[in-house]
Structure 1
Amino acid sequence: MVELMLRLAPEEGYTAAQLDGVTFMRSNRSLPVTPALYEPSIVIVIQGRKSGLHDGNLYVYDAQHYLVLALPLPFSIETEASAEEPMLGVALRVEPLLVAELVMDRDEPQPTQPATLYSSPIDAHLSDATLRLLEALADPDEVRLLGPSILREIVFRVLQGEQGNGLRATLAQNSHFGRIARVLQRIHRDYQESLDVPSLAEIASMSVPAFHVHFKAMTSRSPLQYLKAIRLHQARLLMIRNDMSALSAAQRVGYESPSQFSREFKRLFGRTPGDETRHFKTLLRLAPAVAGVARSAS
């Protein structure tokens, strides 16, 4: 798998595969702890080690463990790698429709205590399916004919494991988990709009107090704290990728007060918007691998 990954991801950073929803990851050096935002996904590391910190809990995903995020969650990540043994991995976007089809086919009961993320040991079945996926991704004909079915198998294997509980729960639209998932989808789609707690609670079909309780239980943040984190992550990407000024980025993501934006940005990232942009551009010139960290926040 390492040899395949070195061919599939010849450059540092994130590389889109020929199969929709699949992304290769590579870093030739260790990267410090950085705030990031992952979309719902299955992350399988082939070589090297990544660790994430969320709500005071540490999640390690390496060649023996994979990570699943049932919800889009902001957390901090750290990468351990070297030029001799680069970090190599593959991220598979979780498609709710595919999960729904697999769950309905098995007619499984709805989970009662879903988990939003944690790492689990990779078993022989999942490892074998991952190898076959990488082999298919290396061949244009195989990826077209076999890729989707192997990807489906990987999601099935994850559903069968201890992390499948969280994925199944996203489909329980009448459960608290499913209702909060609908709200998160709205926030990620329309984060730049004027969103307030009462309107978000209405989407969840909950009272405001109940919405606060269940939202924080799922994300470890209040609704407004979560919305703020999403806006700040998106603004940072606009400044780093598009050379957008702090004022323009703040306005684009929904901030009306530049001073409030700068204050909250520094509180989250530890630097002012200008300092953060200069810091990342310096790192990008020194090591393109840092681009992967910036992209992981999207």
Structure 2
Amino acid sequence: MGQIHENNQEIVKILARILPKEKNLETLIPGVTVFRIDKSFVRVPLTYHPRIILMAQGKKRVFIGEDTYTYDPSQYLVLSVPIPLECDAVAEVGKPILGFGIDVDPAEVAEILLLTEETKYSGENLPKGIYGASVTEEISDASLRLIQTLNSKADSLVLGKSIVREIIYRVLKGENGEALQALAHRNRKFFQISQILSRIHKEYDQNLDIGELAISCGMSVSTFHVSFKAVTNSSPLQYIKTVRLQKARSLMITEGTNAITAAERVGYESPSQFSREYKRYFGLSPAKDQTQQLLSVET
């Protein structure tokens, strides 16, 4: 653990210099984003997309159903499918949360697996689409080398992608790696559900019929429900509703869209139903939430 701590200290120095204030920053390395969060925050609804998230400083937790996943300098988080969840964060005074994320590409996962001689995923069980695992010295070492490339444009462009590939390989071979390996098994239920999740995020504003979604991936409605919940810890209907509500909130806060227009744009036919479900999910009416969020940005 000593080496991992030393590596984290170096990563913190580099990220603190690159990110002098709170920000999410896309780097020159495709699929790699670095982030800084200055203050702790209480549980808020978010949607995480397929990625590996590693922390150099601070702690975050995600809540999905009755499950809680903590990620910090000793634990990383892996999401192999997009999942709406709740998240909170703990930052010490004078020590911002610093870390980075690597997008997960199923094609790259499959390519890496083809080059390895063993795979932990048998295809018999349906793993969850999210898990946490312990940071190993190999992952820590690769993480430091990846962040060091950000000191140089040439290093980022020439070396970054190969180090990303190394980290994905280490994660695939590591603790609970079968959940990520399942992405590469296109004939398995996990991959079919992941494809449906991607479709929901693209077509959330359309009429998504559960029966049609089940048929499109070759499952009965009951099998589809069971498989969907096993991967996302949510029913298909609740997942769709959550995605729509989060998209609507984003429109209201980032674009200033009013509640009625936002409801229509994400697929709601009834503004009153939208208001009820919004308040139930976020704890505030759309109008109050929008006002509160805009005031917090101004101050």
TM range (shorter): over 0.9
Tell me the matched-pair count.
286
Displacement of 1:107 in angstroms is 4.8
Runs of 4+ deviating beyond 6 Å: none
Q: Are 1:39 and 2:38 matched, yes or no?
A: no
Aligned partner of 1:278 in structure 2 is 291
Preserved contact between residue 55 and residue 100 of structure 2 (Cα < 8 Å): yes
Displacement of 1:209 in angstroms is 1.5
Displacement of 1:266 in angstroms is 0.8
Question: Mean alpha-carbon deviation: is it higher for 72-81 or for 170-179?
Answer: 170-179
Aligned partner of 2:219 in structure 1 is 206
Question: What is the CA–CA distance in structure 2 between the aligned matches of 1:38 and 1:283, rounded to whole Å?
Answer: 23
Question: Mean alpha-carbon deviation: is it higher for 143-152 or for 215-224?
Answer: 215-224
Preserved contact between residue 115 and residue 165 of structure 1 (Cα < 8 Å): no
Determine helix, strand or coil for the equivalent of 1:261: helix
* Superposed CA RMSD: 1.3
Q: Are 1:19 and 2:32 matched, yes or no?
A: no
Determine helix, strand or coil for the equivalent of 1:102: helix
Give the letter aligned to residue 159 of structure 1: L
Determine helix, strand or coil for the equivalent of 1:198: helix
Aligned partner of 2:207 in structure 1 is 194
Determine helix, strand or coil for the equivalent of 2:165: helix
Determine helix, strand or coil for the equivalent of 1:195: coil
Map 1:127-146 to 2 at 5 A.
Answer: 127-146=140-159
Determine helix, strand or coil for the equivalent of 1:46: strand
Determine helix, strand or coil for the equivalent of 1:265: helix
Q: Are 1:10 and 2:20 matched, yes or no?
A: yes
Question: What is the CA–CA distance in structure 2 between the aligned matches of 1:209 and 1:115, rounded to whole Å?
Answer: 18
Question: What is the CA–CA distance in structure 1 between the aligned matches of 2:77 and 2:143, rounded to whole Å?
Answer: 14
Question: What is the CA–CA distance in structure 1 between the aligned matches of 2:295 and 2:100, rounded to whole Å?
Answer: 26
Change (3 A) 1:224 1:74: same
Q: Are 1:60 and 2:70 matched, yes or no?
A: yes
Aligned partner of 1:215 in structure 2 is 228
Aligned partner of 1:73 in structure 2 is 83
Aligned partner of 1:289 in structure 2 is none
Preserved contact between residue 125 and residue 157 of structure 1 (Cα < 8 Å): yes
Map 1:210-249 to 2 at 5 A.
Answer: 210-249=223-262
Displacement of 1:115 in angstroms is 3.1
Residues 22-54 of structure 1, C-alpha deviations (whole Å, 9 max, x = no match): 111111111111111100110101101101111
Displacement of 1:174 in angstroms is 1.9
Give the letter aligned to residue 13 of structure 1: K
Question: What is the CA–CA distance in structure 1 between the aligned matches of 2:75 and 2:161, rounded to whole Å?
Answer: 23
Aligned partner of 2:6 in structure 1 is none
Residues 96-124 of structure 1, C-alpha deviations (whole Å, 9 max, x = no match): 11111101122544433323212111010
**Percentage identity across aligned positions?**
40
Residues 126-178 of structure 1, C-alpha deviations (whole Å, 9 max, x = no match): 00000001011221010000011011111111001123211111222222212
Aligned partner of 1:154 in structure 2 is 167
Question: What is the CA–CA distance in structure 1 between the aligned matches of 2:233 and 2:130, rounded to whole Å?
Answer: 12
Aligned partner of 1:291 in structure 2 is none
Q: Are 1:253 and 2:266 matched, yes or no?
A: yes
Q: Runs of 5+ in structure 1 lacking a partner?
A: 287-298
Aligned partner of 1:84 in structure 2 is 94
Determine helix, strand or coil for the equivalent of 2:86: strand
Match 1:125 to one of 138, 144, 149: 138
Question: What is the CA–CA distance in structure 1 between the aligned matches of 2:93 and 2:265, rounded to whole Å?
Answer: 38
Question: What is the CA–CA distance in structure 2 between the aligned matches of 1:164 and 1:60, rounded to whole Å?
Answer: 17
Give the letter aligned to residue 172 of structure 1: H
Aligned partner of 1:97 in structure 2 is 107
Residues 262-281 of structure 1, C-alpha deviations (whole Å, 9 max, x = no match): 11111111111111112222
Displacement of 1:13 in angstroms is 2.9
Q: Are 1:165 and 2:178 matched, yes or no?
A: yes
Displacement of 1:83 in angstroms is 4.4
Question: What is the CA–CA distance in structure 2 between the aligned matches of 1:20 and 1:238, rounded to whole Å?
Answer: 26
